[in-house]
Each structure stands twice: as C-alpha cells, then as structure tokens.
Amino acid sequence: MANIGDGLDPTGLLSAARLLERPAEEFVNHQEVETLWAIKASEHMEVYFNLLKALDPKVLRLTPVDQLIFDDFSRTFGDKNINLEKLDEAELKSEASKAIWREFCNRFEGSVEDFNFATILRLDTSGDYSPENTTLVPRVQFYAIEIARNRSGLNDSIREKFGAKSKPVKA
C-alpha cells in the first residue's frame, strides 16, 4: 500500500505535523491542508491495522483511558443494538446517531488527544481497509468502537487472515 506522504522528506513531514497542531478554525478548505489531514489519518489507519495483524487485539491499549471510553460507550450505546461486527454507515451517520455520538465524543475533550480528529474506521471487521469498507469518524468514536470490538473478539481473525505468514525454516 502506498503512503499518501510518499515523496515528503522528514522535514516536510515534521512541518506538516506542526501545522496540524494548529486550531482547525485557522484553516479554510485548502488543498494542502486537506492533504496533510489525509496523510495523518492514513498513517494512523496503517499503524492500527499493522497492530491488529501482529498482536492479540484483546491486549491492545489504544489510549491511557481505554476503560473509561469503554465504560462510557457501554452506558451510552448498550441498549442501541449496534452491530459492531458490521456497522451500517447510514445508521452511523444519521442525524439521531450523530447527535448521540457528538455528545459522547465531547465528553473526552481534554482527556483524549486529538479526540475529534478525523479517523478512518472499517465498517466490516472481516475486511481490510478499502474505500468500500471505511468511513471517517472522530478519533474518540473510532477508539470506542475499536476498543469494544477488540474486547469482544471481533478483530481476532485479522491476524489470521491478514497477518504475516511465517515461512518454514529449511534444514
């Protein structure tokens, strides 16, 4: 998979990272800024999927406050019958759902770094990241869903399906 940031030298990447730390209100829809946001989201996606391919998802800690996020997610969405295995994007993006998620996400402002940063989420846990299997969500929404998926074993098959296969040692 090619990285969006290919072609940027380390100085360029560092400058991009510093730029993205600025308040969002300072930016207008500028193509370079949108590209930098896409680079950061793509890098996060790649790192996370590599972790799923290499480690038991049940032992992953995504934030220092995973338990707090999980508990709040369970209280807020426990009775909503969300199918975490295969999310319905239309339902996830409905006005009613967005209102509940917005309130949920805002509770983590100040305790989760980049809590509202656009993050790429897989809709179906059985698949890889692809245009058909992804949507953009705020970072803390990604954390809530992925922490719940990891704890319930829904990401367990990723390592088996997509992980690096060890080659037999020849004598």
Q: What percent of the chain has pLDDT over 70?
A: 78
Q: How many domains does the chain have?
A: 1
Q: Is the pLDDT of residue 41 over 80?
A: yes
Confidence of residue 20 (pLDDT cuts 50, 70, 90): low
Determine if the pTM surpasses 0.85.
Answer: no
Residue 132 is assigned to a structural domain of this protein: yes
Residues 36-52, mean pLDDT to the nearest whole number? 88
Residue 15 is assigned to a structural domain of this protein: no
Residue 3 is assigned to a structural domain of this protein: no
Q: Which residues of 105-117 are buried (b: 16+ CB within 10 A; e: fewer)?
A: beebeeebeebbb
Residues 17-45, mean pLDDT to the nearest whole number? 72
One-character DSSP codes across the chain:
---TTTT--HHHHHHHHHHHTS-GGG--S-HHHHHHHHHHHHHHHHHHHHHHHHS-GGG---STTHHHHHHHHHHHHTTS---SSB--HHHHTSHHHHHHHHHHHHTTTTTSTTTTSEEEEESBTTS-S-GGGEEEEEHHHHHHHHHHHHHTTTTTHHHHHHSPPPPPPP-
Q: What is the pLDDT of residues 83-105, one digit of tens each?
A: 999 999 999 999 999 999 999 99
Give the pLDDT of residue 166.
44
Token pair for 44: 């996060």
Q: What is the domain range of residue 52?
A: 37-162
- Contact 136/41 with Cβ under 8 angstroms? yes
Report the CATH number at residue 44.
1.10.3560.10
Residue 24 is assigned to a structural domain of this protein: no
Give the pLDDT of residue 8.
54
Residue 135 has phi, psi (to 5 degrees) of -150, 160
Residue 30 has phi, psi (to 5 degrees) of -110, 130
Residue 32 is assigned to a structural domain of this protein: no
Confidence of residue 170 (pLDDT cuts 50, 70, 90): very low
Q: Is the pLDDT of residue 6 over 90?
A: no
Give the pLDDT of residue 29.
62
Q: Compare 126 and 31 and report the one with higher pLDDT.
A: 126
Give the pLDDT of residue 1.
43
